[in-house]
A = this chain, B = another copy of it.
Amino acid sequence: MKFDELLMIPGPVQVHSRILNAMAKPVIGHRTPEFSEIMKNCTEGLKELFGTEGDVYLISGSGTAGMEAAIASFSKLDRITCIDNGKFGDRLGKIASRYTQVDVLSFEWGKSIDLEEVEKSLENGSQAVAFVHNETSTGILNPAEEIAKIARKHSALVIMDGITSVGGEEVKMDEWGVDVAIVGSQKCLGIPPGLAAVAVNEKAWEFYNEKAPFYLDLAAYRKKLKDWQTPYTPAVPLFAALDEAIKMIREEGLEKRIERHRKLSKAVREWAVNAGLELFPQLNDYSSYSNTVTAIKIPSGVTDKELRGGLKEEYGITISGGQEHLKGKIFRIGTMGNIGKREVIATLAAVEDILTRKGAAVPALNAALEVLS
């Protein structure tokens, strides 16, 4: 018998039955008051998660579409600084280079970023900073507030990839001084992939570039938002899913939701360290461990295939490996969306079972249970 898969990767996440059922409702026309009501609820809910009074635009597409919409729409500038300490920071730079000059600040994947270099880049005339808040490829939470603070000193535009933080981690765009931020549907919001949202404050429009791609030009989304509509046909079932997800987030309460994400990831970290494993990130004072994904080095005595393949085969649980040059070197456990200690403890027990059989770890479930109870 093939069991339903349990997705413990840093997105797409496990989707709650309420959200799956919302998608299976008959499709409604999108140029209707019924759809506008969904748009309104989704937009207003997302504003709370972003911590902004600005607009939020919903794009049918992946998180990458949201990132490109953000960068391309606000690229009327000579130079942008892109911070790269992981796969998604690297992607930011690649996208930005299609629209303007890019000053890439590269740091070793898994290491914290150096704020002095950010300051230096801005002093040298860069007019904007783009960075990833929660770098899922390495399990690091980058210092959003500090980066924005430096940028504000130089009146630079701040673009934040919050794809895997918004909805599961504290994000306070307006308070921090972040001008543009992006979230993806299949991460902490707990719905399937296919939607991105871009939050934008007034300042960003000073940098508006009318040569942005047609589909990703946020001015068209702004115009239509006044009627709670999208400029192009929206992925209706995913909007219905987001509508339900926002209701679930309101029922739980945002603070409690963030606290839950912190607790679940802390349990993973405590288990890992006590099991004799090594966390992948090397933190300095400005960074912290991600609360939505934990990256752990694969111990000697076991291969990536034995670990992740066995987990899927024996337990029907999917976790992630490393990306690019980290393939075979780390594994990653997501703690995002609408999951609880049941899913986390099952995952840790299963990983532990495989690792201890290979002599690659020692039992440490108690350490996780202590955090969770």
A residues with a Cβ closer than 8 A to B are 4-5, 7, 9, 11-15, 20-21, 23-30, 32, 59-65, 68, 72, 94-95, 98, 184, 186, 192-195, 211, 213-216, 232-238, 318
Each complex incorporates copies of this chain amounting to 2
Which of A13, A23, A68, A215 is the most central at the interface, judged by chain B CB atoms within 10 Å of its CB? A215
List of B residues within 8 angstroms of A192 by Cβ: 27, 235-237
- Classify the secondary structure of A's interface with B: loop
Can you list 25 contacts pairing A with B, beta carbon distance less than 8 Å?
Answer: A5-B26, A5-B28, A11-B233, A12-B236, A20-B24, A20-B26, A23-B24, A27-B186, A27-B193, A59-B61, A60-B65, A60-B194, A60-B235, A61-B215, A63-B232, A65-B65, A65-B232, A68-B213, A186-B233, A192-B235, A193-B236, A194-B236, A213-B215, A213-B216, A235-B238
Given A5-B26, A14-B27, A60-B60, 14 more A-B residue pairs with CB atoms under 8 Å apart are: A12-B27, A12-B30, A13-B27, A60-B193, A63-B233, A65-B65, A65-B232, A68-B215, A95-B214, A186-B236, A192-B237, A193-B234, A194-B237, A235-B235
Partner of A98 from B68, B214, B235 at Cβ < 8 Å? B214
Q: A27-B15, A30-B193 are in contact. Are A233 and B98 (CB under 8 A)?
A: no
Contact between A26 and B15, CB atoms less than 8 A apart: yes
Give Cα A27 to B211, complex, Å. 36
Q: Which of A4, A60, A211 has the most CB of B within 10 A?
A: A60
> For the complex, what is the distance from the CA of A103 to the CA of B186, rounded to whole Å?
41
* Nearest residue, chain B, Cβ from A194: B235
| Closest B residue to A234 using CB positions | B193
Chain B residues with CB below 8 A from A25, complex form: 20
Which of A29, A61, A94, A214: most chain B Cβ within 10 A?
A214
Q: Which residues of B contact A15 (CB under 8 A)?
A: 26-27
Please name all residues of chain B whose beta carbon is closer than 8 Å to the beta carbon of A194 when the two chains form the complex. Answer: 60, 194, 234-238
Pairwise interchain contact B234-A23, C-beta atoms closer than 8 A = no
How many angstroms from the CA of A12 to the CA of B30 in the assembled complex? 8
Residues of B within 8 A of A32 (CB): 318
A338 to B153, CA, bound (A): 58
